[in-house]
Amino acid sequence: MSWDASLECGCCGHDLIDRNYTHNTSRMIYGALQDAGVVLPNPDGHGTVAWWGHLNGMTGPEGAAYLDAILTHLAKDPGRYRAMNPENGWGNYDDLVTVLTEMRDAVPEHPTAWRASG
């Protein structure tokens, strides 16, 4: 299973970037968010929104800042996060960083909106 995220251009409605990656690396992302002090919302009292669900609906710049917080904390301790690489080989720290960096760097100056699902 994987999560999917795309960035829709506000000018033409086309996707500027469309990426997906395995949920097997989500533990790394949640660890980075915790280290960043990001508290995910709890809209219904029954748990938190998934990290990608929090990205869903953000503007391009909001999403870029969110992804940057994740990337910043992943970069602070690569050894810790590489140790979380899934044993089954589906996903890894280095590829996750590449995907998240591509997503963050795809944000243009004109209006955009993130769509994410998992």
Which pLDDT band holds residue 46 (cuts at 50, 70, 90)? Answer: low
Q: What is the pTM of this model?
A: 0.89
Q: pLDDT value at position 47?
A: 63
Closest CA to 31 of 90, 93, 88: 93
Radius of gyration of the chain (CA): 14
* Structure confidence by residue, pLDDT tens digits, 49-84: 789 988 999 999 999 999 999 999 999 999 999 999
3-state secondary structure of 80: helix
Instruction: Write down the domain spans for the chain.
Output: 2-117
Q: Tell me, what's the pLDDT at 16?
A: 87
Q: Is the pLDDT of residue 44 over 70?
A: no
- If pLDDT is split at 50, 70 and 90, which confidence band does 43 have? low
